[in-house]
Amino acid sequence: MKRAEELEAKGYTYSYDMLGEAARTEADARRYHLSYSKAITAIAAAATKGDIRSNPGISVKLSALHPRYEVAKRDRVMEELVPRVRALAGLAKAAGLGFNIDAEEADRLALSLEVIEAVLADSALKGWDGFGVVVQAYGRRAGAVLDWLYALSTRLDRKIMVRLVKGAYWDAEVKRAQVLGLDSFPVFTRKQATDVSYIANAKKLLGMTDRIYPQFAGHNAHTVAAILDLAQTAGIGLREFEFQRLHGMGERLHDLVLADQGARCRIYAPVGAHRDLLAYLVRRLLENGANSSFVNQIVNEDVAPETVAACPFDYMEQVSSIANPAILTAAELFWERRNSKGFDLTDAADLAAIEAARAPHETVLFDARPRLAGSVAGGQRLDVRNPATGERVGNLLPAAAVCIIALAMLERDGLWVALGLAATVGAFVWVGGIAYGLVKSAIFVVMNAF
């Protein structure tokens, strides 16, 4: 905060990003919760402007506040994470700060919206305009998420902030979809498609300012110029939204926007210990190291200015598909053969399909037995029970030892030797059966004679 004073004097505001990624244990989550609470208390001292747009803010990650922030643990998340976020939001409200929920992996998007809805519905937060949500334009659901947030804030009669970003987990999203064998990607696969999505969703946000305070985060001069143009065309004042940049990035661009245009600019400053910085740094390196990245191109003298400032709409109008054919879906990964299909166990539609396919088997008693050519000799039928509930789910008829030996011999010594063994054992069993019958009859006769 001391370091922020210099740029605050120039007119910048700050959002402090508490570094820290997914909590692995409950102790991690509690530690992050405590450090978020302390940070809000510390930042509160600088929140003197009486308006969340001029005051500093804080950004938090839901994954840092719960060790099992995942769809499979939805009930626990709603029970344990929601009160934690609510408590932090209450502190931010009391301090007059903006409080942003960072956007993370696409497979947690629906769950994050459930958490956000539950927190925002708390009547104690009424009258505070500082609750913020981050939306990723590279996500194919971005427009639908904005509509949902607008409808939510209208229904709850709240004003919220939305930070529009392009998205920082692009490589991971693509890889995850390929590894899981999903039909498609949750993100756009052409850089220009993301740029177009960003500008289209910026336009949407500029039409929602009665409920939403738009925060446009990024370092791409073309995107920033497009937003300024859209705002001017729509008659939206420069103080009704803000631009945001990351600490150490996009300085020249934002200086110009702040000084020449008189727009609001906020700096997102990472705060934390060195060891927590690594994941953040890796994301920045991946993003800025890409040839398509604006900040990479602008410093590369081999890239012509026309290329750096090329219009993404022109590009998208020329290509034959929105999807990038160079990025293979899971099914196409192994050119000569089709890859196996997977399921997304975080996706409501996939989960419903799996549930529907499983439902008919719920009451069926399964009968498991070895797959032998003939009948299974000698095995004893066993009950099989669900280890979780003790409920009987079926029977198991194991193979007798002789079947296993015959199979092993079939594999090792061939059909005739195995048949020989089976015949020998069969004969023994047969002879044994007769002998047993004779002995039993003899005993019966003898017993009856006396």
Ligand X SMILES: Cc1cc2nc3c(=O)[nH]c(=O)nc-3n(C[C@H](O)[C@H](O)[C@H](O)COP(=O)(O)OP(=O)(O)OC[C@H]3O[C@@H](n4cnc5c(N)ncnc54)[C@H](O)[C@@H]3O)c2cc1C
Residues that bind ligand X (CB under 6 A): 102-103, 134, 136, 138, 165-170, 187-191, 193-194, 217-220, 223, 244-246, 268, 287, 290, 292-294
Q: How far is the CB of 287 from ligand X (least distance, A)?
A: 5
Q: How far is the CB of 210 from ligand X (least distance, A)?
A: 24
Q: How far is the CB of 334 from ligand X (least distance, A)?
A: 22
Closer residue to ligand X (CB): 15 or 406: 15
**3-class DSSP assignment, residue 131:** strand
308: how many CB neighbours lie within 10 A of its CB?
A: 16
Q: Which of 32, 28, 59, 82 is nearest to 130 (CA)?
A: 59
Q: How far is the CB of 161 from ligand X (least distance, A)?
A: 12
Q: How far is the CB of 257 from ligand X (least distance, A)?
A: 13
Closer residue to ligand X (CB): 82 or 162: 162
Give Cβ neighbours of residue 366 (< 8 Å, ≥ 6 apart).
384, 393, 394, 395
Strand locations in 352-432 (E) = 366-368, 382-385, 392-396
Closer residue to ligand X (CB): 86 or 166: 166
Q: Are the CB atoms for 261 and 228 separated by under 8 Å?
A: yes
Closer residue to ligand X (CB): 150 or 188: 188
Closer residue to ligand X (CB): 35 or 244: 244
Q: How far is the CB of 136 from ligand X (least distance, A)?
A: 5
Q: How far is the CB of 193 from ligand X (least distance, A)?
A: 6
Instruction: Identify the helix (H) or strand (E) that includes residue 196.
Output: helix 191-206
Closer residue to ligand X (CB): 169 or 406: 169
Closer residue to ligand X (CB): 298 or 410: 298
Strand locations in 139-211 (E) = 160-165
Q: Are the CB atoms for 208 and 150 separated by under 8 Å?
A: yes
Give me the helices (H) in 302-414, please.
Answer: 305-308, 312-318, 348-358, 401-413
Distances from the Cα of 162 to the Cαs of 6, 16, 71, 102, 153, in angstroms? 26, 16, 23, 10, 11
Q: Are strands 160-165 and 212-217 parallel, antiparallel or unpaired?
A: parallel
